[in-house]
Amino acid sequence: MTVLDVHRLGIACAACCFVQLHNHKWNAFKSSRLFDRGTQERLRTRGHHPLSPGEFTAVRPGECHRFRSLSELVEAIEIYSPAELAEDIVSARKSGGFSMEYGDEIMGSGLARGAHARGVKIAFGDGRKIIWNECAHLIFRGNPNVAAPGQERADNLEWIEHYSGARRYYRFGSGERRQMIFASGTQRPGELFFDPSELEFAERVGDDFIVVEPNTVNDAPNKQWGRQNKRWGLDRYRGVAHLLRDRGFRVVQFDAGAQAIDGIERIATPSFRTACAVLARAALYVGPEGGLHHACAASPVNTPAVVIFGGFVSPAVTGYAQHVNLFTGEGLGCGNLDPCEHCRVCMSKISVEQVIDAAMSLLK
């Protein structure tokens, strides 16, 4: 078999829609060339529906086999060789493209809060199968409120449809634009359960530092859709970091991601979980909307945060009341998954001084 074996990839066809990928494969798929607008147009001209990932979750693998193999699929869309797909999957894996949903899983831990105390476990999945991606395995480690894959038959389950490709706070638009359409809803702070080695690592880093993080959790240089619209810009982060440093604070950033602030200590953590354990000892986080800001809100992290939203998504969707949330967009956010001039302008409306003022207000 090859890595592209259709069943192994979890590909199934939705009746006249497209393919369905499960779990982490879905992430690779989203960042692959299969997902671009050209592909959607080619599908449309061939009588298929345009790619509408929101619909995929309604169709389970095995229910339809319009494309019985990946080569049939590739043939149908004519643009993509199996070798190219393999390459994309490998590069997505290397670049952290499989790890872009830490924040989503932390939100899941918020949804599951209190389940153990009620005598139940939350099953995240489609009602039949518990569906965890690689991030879920990490984030839910040690969490007594959730049922793990394989525990589908337990009699104390409460099912919540929350997994890669099925999140409550957004759906994908079905129009021309590659767009997330958001739903508002207060986020319940999540929970992380650190193990002793993670806590020990964090203890060695110390206390009372400020994390200024210009990178989103996995700011991979390749096609991380939407990521660029969450960036405030390295120069502005540098401005904040240096001003705080000049005021006598110990300022650090994590050693993950391409954007490094010169003159600022970098902390290399062995995992995202360890970074969260370190974050728990910080006096403040300044950074983008993303996995780390969700971690700040989670217990036992509880770190004050200045979260730079810009215009992509509103704090009414993914924010927490205890943070300073800097949102300069409209409505629930544009959700544009392509590089967005609107988001660039929204980011430019947030000044270094404003962020410093917010930081100082939380440090008092």
Least distance CB 288 / Zn ion (angstroms): 14
Least distance CB 318 / Zn ion (angstroms): 15
Dmax over CA atoms of the chain, in Å, equals: 63
Q: Which region, judged by CB under 5 A, interacts with Zn ion, from 134-142, 168-176, 240-248, 340-348?
A: 340-348
CA atoms of 232 and 225, how far apart (whole Å): 16
Asked whether position 347 contacts Zn ion by CB under 5 A, the answer is no
**Burial label, 248 (beta-carbon count in 10 A; 0-12, 13-18, 19+):** exposed
**Burial label, 153 (beta-carbon count in 10 A; 0-12, 13-18, 19+):** exposed
Asked whether position 343 contacts Zn ion by CB under 5 A, the answer is yes
Least distance CB 257 / Zn ion (angstroms): 21
CB-wise, 121 or 236, nearer to Zn ion?
236
Binder of Zn ion out of 52, 342, 354, 363 (CB under 5 A): 342
Tokens of 103: 């924040």
Asked whether position 177 contacts Zn ion by CB under 5 A, the answer is no
Q: Which region, judged by CB under 5 A, interacts with Zn ion, from 50-58, 242-250, 281-289, 304-312?
A: 304-312
Q: Cβ–Cβ contacts within 10 Å for residue 75, how many?
A: 11
CA atoms of 107 and 274, how far apart (whole Å): 18
Least distance CB 85 / Zn ion (angstroms): 29
Binder of Zn ion out of 190, 214, 290, 311 (CB under 5 A): 311
DSSP 3-state of 219: coil
Least distance CB 216 / Zn ion (angstroms): 15
CB-wise, 299 or 328, nearer to Zn ion?
328
Binding residues for Zn ion (CB under 5 A): 311, 334, 336, 340, 342-343
